[in-house]
Structure 1
């Protein structure tokens, strides 16, 4: 969270590297289950830690980037199968970051209206879900 310039993108990149390491070690089925576990567990931990950090650093502190991990991992649920898995993962990461930055279709509303840890986490969950839908559409059209 203290990375200068683009801490969210840096954190998302770390999340992508963690997923890639798991991709190299696990079968597709186990990778999907592991990714789901990481998404759920990190979301719940993120709600708690964000609530704690807001007491010290104010609303949705820039240094809190646990939400970027969750948002990055959600579209990667569709990446583990096929010969283009790594490119699908990279495109999923890029889609998530673009959606997270521009906050369309309810993401901005969540960011501005849901307070506390749930607000910190849920706008990235929704952005990740939108990236997942776009990635699914892209995979069905091009792969």
Structure 2
């Protein structure tokens, strides 16, 4: 089933496959079975009474569950890919912030200010929470 496998393959290629999960179950790797169990029951000529309806209902419900499984797998794979993108963006932001901090420390040393004095200034500025952006955890 190409639609099911494509997001999974993309997730694996991006290195975001969940650890310990293993390969997809066979039910999600192969196309659903063709036909209807009711056809086989009718052609056998067996008189099953209420069992036939029960088997047809079970078959239909299994098909519905399979469709939901495929849909959920696709959504989870898409979410995993999005998380990977966010992770890359976060790493980039953190690297930029680290570079900015290093540049600030260098400029502090050049101005004969110690890093401790600079940190004190930053703490006094950060005591006004309305003036700075909320932490990442707070926005979630």
TM range (shorter): under 0.3
Q: Which has the larger radius of gyration?
A: 2
- In the superposition, the TM-score normalised over structure 1's length comes to 0.25
Is the helix fraction higher in 1 or 2? Answer: 1
**TM-score, length-scaled by structure 2:** 0.26
